[in-house]
Amino acid sequence: GIQVEQSPPDLILQEGANSTLRCNFSDSVNNLQWFHQNPWGQLINLFYIPSGTKQNGRLSATTVATERYSLLYISSSQTTDSGVYFCAVGPNFGNEKLTFGTGTRLTIIP
């Protein structure tokens, strides 16, 4: 099956810093989503981005499907950004299950 790798596994930053999270995947995809799992365990949809670039406030994401990677950018980090960020992909054609990466744990220090 498709493999998904995220880096870095852990990231500790001061409030106000910027960060870039990376997601590599091993095969063509027709679905790629970024999620934030907050400290209470809730999964929040950030982006649905199988290709291209999107922005939402301080967050933006870019997926280069031909090179099989996606990047999530967080600017001017706030303590509420802390949590685990997951990338999940769905394969190109066929079933629609998502395969999740192992996540990046982000800790923002005040």
Partner 1 sequence: NAGVMQNPRHLVRRRGQEARLRCSPMKGHSHVYWYRQLPEEGLKFMVYLQKENIIDESGMPKERFSAEFPKEGPSILRIQQVVRGDSAAYFCASSPPVQAYNEQFFGPGTRLTVL
Q: Rule CB under 8 A: is residue 42 a binding residue for partner 1? A: yes
Provide the token pair at 20.
């870039």
CB of 8 to partner 1, least distance (A): 15
Number of residues that bind partner 1 (CB under 8 A): 21
Provide the token pair at 108.
């923002």
Q: Rule CB under 8 A: is residue 33 a binding residue for partner 1? A: yes
* Closest CB to partner 1 among residues 14, 95: 95
Among residues 9, 80, 91, the alpha carbon closest in space to that of 42 is found at 80
Residue 9 and residue 106: Cα distance in Å, rounded? 9
Helix (H) or strand (E) holding 73: strand 69-74
CB of 62 to partner 1, least distance (A): 17
Which parts of this chain interact with partner 1 (CB under 8 A)? Answer: 30-31, 33, 35, 41-43, 45, 48, 86, 88, 90, 95-103
